[in-house]
Amino acid sequence: MTTIYVDTNIFIDAITGRANKYGKDLSTPAGKMFYDSMSCKYHIVISTWTLQELYRTVDSTEVSMLFQMIKKKIITVEHTDKEIEEAKKLNSDHFQDALHGLLAVKAGAECIVTRNLSDFACVSHLIQAKLPEQL
């Protein structure tokens, strides 16, 4: 089974039924990825950093419902202050993305699943970023 680190935006896409500014459906590929994880295709890595971002953005009830569906496939990785500092050295402007990359590597993920591939250029030497539809 493949282990993937899922960026916050993919959770938001699936939970909120989001589309991009051109009307392209982002929720279906995200939802399919979570469905595939329930079918034993993926283990989903989620970090404590991702949880903080999610709970600031999306209703906690909706987050809990998704987690309930994939609970047997979730691997949680905790972030530390040391990792935050390391991420800031990799990308001082958007350290959050670098932190996601560091945490993905820490958890042994094979890739980061995101909507914002270019945001992870700062960690491309450590881990590959993919769109949900590229899995």
pLDDT at site 22: 94
Is the pLDDT reported for residue 120 higher than 90?
A: yes
Domain boundaries, the chain: 2-134
Q: Tell me the C-alpha distance between 43 and 20, whole Å.
A: 26
The domain at 2-134 falls in which architecture? 3-Layer(aba) Sandwich (3.40)
Q: Tell me the C-alpha distance between 4 and 98, whole Å.
A: 16
CB-based contact 115:93 (threshold 8 Å): no
pLDDT at site 10: 95
